[in-house]
Structure formats: structure tokens, C-alpha cells
Amino acid sequence: MKIISDTVHGVMDYATVVLFALTPNILGFAGTATVICYALAVIHLAMTLLTDMPLGVVKAIPMKLHALVEMLVGPVLAVGALALPTLVAGGQAFFVVVGVVIFAIWLLSHYGRAPDPG
């Protein structure tokens, strides 16, 4: 069931950038967890701006590639946080939850495909 349109997905992408950028200060992250958040904010912003979707600016990245990246990033964040808890000290739960949410958004997004009529 694909219920998230490309426009709504774009809004969610920009919200994700803000989430990654603000979380270290809000939750008091330090060290690697902070670096990961800021890196993901920059990467996610670049990908969103460059994706060929309604809220993309340059439209250089096909939606299928955007989808592939999100399909991989979600599980990597969740599994990585569980497998390497000391790497994301203090942020394990955050990265697991965000990874699961990113994967769920991947499952529910159209990624350029026509919406199902039913």
C-alpha cells in the first residue's frame, strides 16, 4: 500500500533534515552520534534538493535511486545502532527508531509510480 505521494515525501525529507540537524543539541548527543546526525542531515538535504521530485530543486537524481538509498539507510541505521551501541553512545534508541521510520516511509512511498486506484 503506497500512501505517501512524492510531494508529501519531499516534505518528510526536509523534516528529516531538520530532525538530524537539531537532535544532537536537543538530546545532548556527543562524539560519533553527533557526527552521524550532522552528516546525515547534510547528505539527506543534498539528496532531497537533487532528486527529481516535486520539491527537488535540481532534479538530477532519479526517484528510483532516492528510493534505493532510503531502503538501505533505514535498516543500516537500525541494525548499526543495535550492533555497535558504543559507537552511538546515548543515541542508540534514536537511531533505531529513525532507521525503522525511514524504512517504513520507504515501504509506503510512491517514488514516482502512479498511485494505486484502490
Q: Where are the domains of the chain?
A: 6-108
Q: Is residue 94 scored above 70 in pLDDT?
A: yes
Average pLDDT, the chain: 93
Mean pLDDT of 4-20: 97
Q: Which of 77, 117, 83, 82 is nearest to 99 (CA)?
A: 77
Asked if pLDDT for residue 114 goes beyond 70, the answer is no
Place of cell 560519533: 32
Question: Which of 27-41, 69-83, 103-117 has the weakest average pLDDT?
Answer: 103-117
The pLDDT of residue 118 is above 60: no
Mean pLDDT of 31-41: 96
For residues 14-37, average pLDDT: 96
Buried b (16+ CB within 10 A) or exposed e, 74-108: beebbebbeeeeeebebbbebbbebbebbbebbee
Give yes or no for residue 64 having a pLDDT over 90.
Answer: yes
d(CA 2, CA 57) in angstroms, rounded, equals: 24
The pLDDT value recorded for residue 104 is 97
Kindly report the pTM of this predicted structure.
0.91
C-alpha cell at position 67: 528510493
Find the mean pLDDT for residues 10-39.
96
CA 11 vs CA 19, 44, 85, 98, 102: distances in Å: 12, 12, 30, 16, 13
